[in-house]
C-alpha cells in the first residue's frame, strides 16, 4: 500500500503521485509518515521534505506552509518549493553568501528577522543540493 502525496505552491504543483514514505519538517519537529498515519494538520517549517517514491529518496525544499495528513493522503501547501535537482548549485551558493552578508549588515529588529528568514531559506536550498538532511 502507498500514500498519495500532493505538494503544491500558489504557482504550481511540485509533486502529485504515490509514495511509500516521507519525512517532513514541521514547526514542532520532524515527522516521518508511513501508510495509515494518524490524521493531523500541521504547520510546515522552512526545511527539507524527503520523499521515497520507490527505493530512492527525493529531496524537496519547502519554504513553510501547511500539511494535512489523513486516509493515506498527504496534501502540502507550501509558500514555495523546489525539487533539489532543479536547484542551480552556483545560484544557491551565491544566494547563501548574499543572505549571510545581509544578515551581518541588518539594522533593527525587522531587518534582522527578514535577514534570518532569507538565510534559513538559502541554507535549506544549499542543504538540498548537498544532500544534507538537517533542519
Q: What is the pLDDT of residues 37-54, one digit of tens each?
A: 999 999 999 999 999 999
Q: Is the pLDDT of residue 1 over 90?
A: no
pTM of the model: 0.88
3-state DSSP assignment of residue 12: coil
CB 24 within 8 A of CB 9: no
What's the CA gap between 112 and 53, in Å, rounded? 38
Q: What is the pLDDT of residues 51-102, one digit of tens each?
A: 999 999 999 999 999 999 999 999 999 999 999 999 999 999 999 999 999 9
DSSP assignment of 114-130 = HHHHHHHHHHHHHHHHH
Residue 131: predicted pLDDT = 74
Asked if the 3-84 domain carries CATH number 2.40.50.100, the reply is: no
Residue 66: predicted pLDDT = 97
CB 8 within 8 A of CB 79: no
Q: Is the pLDDT of residue 17 over 60?
A: yes
Amino acid at each position: 500500500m502507498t500514500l498519495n502525496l500532493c505538494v503544491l505552491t500558489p504557482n504550481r504543483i511540485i509533486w502529485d503521485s504515490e509514495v511509500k514514505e516521507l519525512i517532513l519538517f514541521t514547526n514542532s519537529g520532524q515527522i516521518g509518515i508511513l501508510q495509515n498515519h494518524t490524521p493531523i494538520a500541521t504547520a510546515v517549517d522552512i526545511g527539507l521534505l524527503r520523499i521515497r517514491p520507490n527505493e530512492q529518496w527525493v529531496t524537496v525544499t519547502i519554504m513553510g506552509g501547511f500539511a494535512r495528513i489523513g486516509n493515506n493522503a498527504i496534501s502540502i501547501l507550501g509558500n514555495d518549493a523546489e525539487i533539489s535537482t532543479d536547484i542551480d548549485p552556483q545560484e544557491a551558493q551565491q544566494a547563501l553568501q548574499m543572505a549571510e552578508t545581509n544578515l551581518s549588515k541588518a539594522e533593527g529588529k525587522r531587518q534582522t528577522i527578514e535577514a534570518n528568514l532569507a538565510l534559513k531559506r538559502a541554507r535549506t536550498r544549499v542543504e538540498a543540493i548537498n544532500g544534507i538532511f538537517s533542519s
